[in-house]
Amino acid sequence: MDTRISIRLVTGNSSWWKARKYRRETAATLRAYRAEGWRMVGVERLARSGIDTRRMTRYTLQRRCHAVEYVPAGGD
């Protein structure tokens, strides 16, 4: 059985230094999810809304749920 989540992150900006900041934050966030066992299965660029200069991206992540082997307590 697989578990999927969808997260929305800021991945860019019209200002070069803000774009750099947002890319670094997004990379750190995705790296943390990967360390927890999540894998990226989809990327979707979201349309800009209004005068907001940020670029948003939706990432779909998946983690496989492994069956846990039962080990009785105190048993050999």
* pLDDT, tens digit only, all 76 positions of the chain: 689 999 999 999 999 999 999 999 999 999 999 999 999 999 999 998 889 999 999 999 999 876 556 666 765 5
Pairwise CA distance, residues 69 & 57, whole Å: 38
Chain Cα centroid distance, residue 27: 9
Q: Which amino acid is at 75?
A: G
Q: Which amino acid is at 56?
A: M
Model pLDDT, residue 64: 83
Pairwise CA distance, residues 16 & 55, whole Å: 12
